[in-house]
Amino acid sequence: MNQKRIGLIGAGKMATALASGWIRSGLAQPENMLASDPYEAARKSFREQTNIPTTDSNREVLESSGVVLLAVKPQVVPELLEELAESATSEHLFVSIIAGARLDRFEAVLPKSRHIRVMPNTPCLVGEGASGFAAGSTATKDDLKLVEDLLSTVGIALPVAEHLLDAVTGLSGSGPAYVFEIIEALSDGGVLSGLPRATATQLAAQTLLGAAKMVLESGQHPGQLKDAVTSPGGTTISGLHQLEQGCMRGTLMNAVEAATKRSQELGKTST
Ligand SMILES: NC(=O)C1=CN([C@@H]2O[C@H](COP(=O)(O)OP(=O)(O)OC[C@H]3O[C@@H](n4cnc5c(N)ncnc54)[C@H](O)[C@@H]3O)[C@@H](O)[C@H]2O)C=CC1
Ligand SMILES: O=C(O)[C@@H]1CCC=N1
């Protein structure tokens, strides 16, 4: 077994996003990885998108790979852990991206191995991911460095206390879905005001990208940047007034809070 080799258990959407990002950045080569999934349709789609070989055997992944990404749904965790317990060794580092699934559960069932819990998001696919991560009690500095390198080649990676990973899930894990809806709604507004759909969607997406870059690169408070767009008696304040009346800010806060609570609940059912 090669301790540096990366294996993936669960060849679904998030495994595809991460693996594609690693290959794109040159950090990993498809022929040096292996992914398992019980469903041929999932394996086929994963192979087509990543060129990584696949198998239906999780055991085969553990036998070949020292670094094992766990990318299955939370509901599968109890049966998966039971299966992994048969072949997990002290040479394995498990990196779980499973929403809600807590490190103490992994450490109890797979006590010989080391564990790191991560919450990434799908923009890892295009090198713009946002991930939070927390180390298990026996993970080494080298393990943490390896996982931080894996995550930071496909976006930003921030260490957080484990209990805050549910909040990371509610904000940046689920966040791309909120933002896709915001882009769609802005595009709808453009169409309502007469723009062709393709033009409206491009303008909406680029506006989010540009505004996000300004927040990350200027170091200025988002409120300051908002004020700089907003002329007295101008167009922007008329639009902002509508957003306030529609409770946009409170609604987004509620969305993050609800998704955080759901991650906490999933943690209870997956353990
Ligand atoms: N989709 C997203 O945006 C994000 C997902 N996550 C987490 O990543 C995990 C995977 O999510 P997705 O990729 O969206 O789900 P998905 O459903 O696309 O992928 C999960 C894959 O696991 C496979 N699977 C089921 N049982 C298995 C088993 N016993 N052994 C091996 N593979 C098995 C399924 O066939 C499926 O292909 C979840 O726990 C989710 O919470 C985390 C961050 C973002
Ligand atoms: O919806 C979910 O449960 C997963 C976790 C974060 C993003 N997708």
Domains of the chain: 2-165 (3.40.50.720), 175-265 (1.10.3730.10)
Distances from the Cα of 161 to the Cαs of 147, 148, 168, 203, in angstroms? 16, 15, 10, 37
Ligand number with the minimum distance to the CA of 72: 1
Distance 49 CA to ligand 1 centre (A): 16
Q: Tokens for 192?
A: 């309502």
108-136 average pLDDT score: 97
Taking the C-alpha atoms of residue 178 and residue 44, their distance in angstroms, rounded to an integer, is 29
The vertex-122 CA angle with 57 and 154, nearest 5°, equals 90
Calculate how far, in angstroms, residue 63's C-alpha sits from the geometric centre of ligand 1: 21
Q: Ligand 1 pocket, 39 CB below 6 A?
A: yes
Name the β-bridge partners of 119. 132
**Residue 158 corresponds to which tokens in the numbers above?**
């921030």
Q: For residue 268, name the pLDDT band (cuts at 50, 70, 90).
A: confident
The three-point CA angle 89-35-18 to 5° equals 105
Instruction: Determine if the pTM surpasses 0.90.
Output: yes
Query: Is the CB–ligand 1 distance for residue 36 below 6 Å?
Result: yes
Q: Write the residue with the smallest CA distance to atom 33 of ligand 1.
A: 10
**In whole angstroms, what is the distance from residue 253 CA to residue 121 CA?**
19
- Span 16-41, pLDDT tens digits: 999 999 999 999 999 999 999 999 99
Is 72 flagged in the annotation as binding?
Answer: yes
Q: Is 156 annotated as a binding residue?
A: no
| Residue 142 clears pLDDT 70, i.e. is over it | yes
Ligand 2: nearest atom to the Cα of 173: 6
ipTM: 0.99
Given this model, what pLDDT does residue 1 score? 76
Residue 271 has pLDDT above 60, yes or no: no
